[in-house]
Amino acid sequence: MTVLVTGGAGYIGSHMVWELLDSGEKVVVVDNLSKGFDWAVAPEALLVQGDVADSALVGGLIREHAVDSIIHFAGSIVVPESVADPLAYYQNNTCKTRTLIETAVQAGVGNFIFSSTAAVYGDAGIEPVREEARLNPESPYGRSKLMSEWMLRDAAAAHDLRFTALRYFNVAGADPQGRTGQSTPGATHLIKIACETALGKRPFMQVYGTDYPTADGTCVRDYIHVSDLARAHRLALQRLRAGGDSIIANCGYGHGYSVLEVIQAVRRAFGGDFEVRNGDRRPGDAASVVANADLARSELGWAPQHDDLGQIVSDALSWERRLQTMNSVRG
Ligand code: UDP
């Protein structure tokens, strides 16, 4: 049996590939390499450059490699970009996922794990956020993912398909063994930006808003180590293979850190200072977003191993250093 990982050359996907290989799985990756990198894919996995909506390609791979499960990461993830070009997001995230689900159903793949997001909640208002919270995505990105969840639910009701959708909170960090990390240029995420600033790639960074109704006035988020997230997918895979029913589960730790706490953690890990300026609020940011992840723990048996902000930022920083060296070697 083989696992097909879409988007396996990207940030979370490349960690997933290692997690699967480490547990003895055979892995085929389909990635169009629009954002990911071929070198990010573990050499033991088969990388096929192509589109997840190319049903002839994907159907052929499923048959050739006896794929029983798909883990679907491929998609676009930049919220402001989705506001500027919503139809591109509905095409890339929603329409292509529809085709992939259809290919899975037609080829008899019974297990489907989907990369969803806390953005399906919008500003849920009640913390920590449970899966039953009101779904009110505030961006085309969030809606494109929510529509995919709905398609999966309906397809699972009609066909021989079971799925797990994992709603990610703030994914950060890098493989503790340094085999992969977040490599996409132009990333906008706080921990990545703070690490880039510490290493001198940026002259300074900004705190987006210091007047939120939180303890120190800056936004609070639930940062989850990418390796714990990858493990949650592998447990979801085991559960589906054992006949588990379809579920949707949050992936976070259930507690949050403020922007200032994160910056302090990066300073400590770096062992030095860097310039931080107070800036205006970023449109659309909620004051606090923290998961209730009880369901992932009870249903998947998920027991996070890296629930430690210090480790998250030091793994992110180590990867950022490595990336700088690789980029300077590549010129
Ligand atoms: N943030 C910040 N400066 C930055 C990037 C992010 O102050 O350069 C803040 C952002 O406003 C939010 C938090 O850090 O409150 C996490 O943002 P990120 O983009 O990492 O994830 P999001 O929660 O938006 O998905």
C-alpha–C-alpha distance, residues 210 and 97, integer Å: 38
Identify the pLDDT of residue 286: 87
ipTM of the complex: 0.99
Q: What is the percent of the chain where pLDDT is above 90?
A: 92
Average pLDDT over residues 248-275: 98
Task: Give the pLDDT confidence of 152-203 residue by residue, as tens digits.
Answer: 999 999 999 999 999 999 999 999 999 999 998 888 899 999 999 999 999 9
Total-model pTM:
0.97
262 within ligand 1 shell (Cβ under 6 A): no
Cα atoms in the Cβ-side hemisphere of radius 13 Å centred on 311:
14
Query: Which residues are 4's β-sheet partners?
Result: 28, 70
Residue 137, pLDDT above cutoff 70:
yes
Looking at 7-11, 79-83, 259-263, 298-302, which range is the least confident one?
Answer: 79-83
Helices (H), 250-304: 259-270, 294-300
290 within ligand 1 shell (Cβ under 6 A): no
Identify the pLDDT of residue 126: 76
Identify the pLDDT of residue 331: 61
The answer to whether 46 and 27 are in contact (CB under 8 A) is yes
Average pLDDT over residues 140-145: 96
Asked if the domains 2-172+223-251 and 190-221+254-330 are classified in one and the same CATH topology, the answer is no
2-172+223-251 CATH: 3.40.50.720
Q: In what order do the strands lie in the sheet with 257-258?
A: 257-258, 220-221, 288-289
Q: Strand locations in the chain, DSSP E?
A: 2-6, 26-31, 46-49, 67-72, 111-117, 162-168, 170-172, 205-208, 220-221, 223-225, 247-251, 257-258, 276-279, 288-289
Mutate to test the pocket of ligand 1, among 167, 259, 262, 278 (most ligand atoms within 8 A of CB): 259
Identify the pLDDT of residue 296: 98
189 within ligand 1 shell (Cβ under 6 A): yes
Q: State the DSSP string of 189-247.
A: -HHHHHHHHHTTSSS-EEEE-S-SSSTTSS-EE-EEEHHHHHHHHHHHHHHHHTTPPPE
Q: How far is CA 159 from CA 53, 110, 137, 152, 168, in A?
A: 19, 9, 27, 10, 26
Pick the catalytic residue: 11, 89, 141, 212?
141
C-alpha–C-alpha distance, residues 108 and 99, integer Å: 14
Domain regions of the chain by residue span: 2-172+223-251, 190-221+254-330
Q: Please state the atom number of ligand 1 nearest to the C-alpha of residue 262.
A: 14
Record the tokens describing residue 2, joined without a space.
């083989």
The answer to whether 226 and 11 are in contact (CB under 8 A) is yes
- Quickly tell me which residue has 């990756």 as its tokens: 29
190-221+254-330 CATH: 3.90.25.10
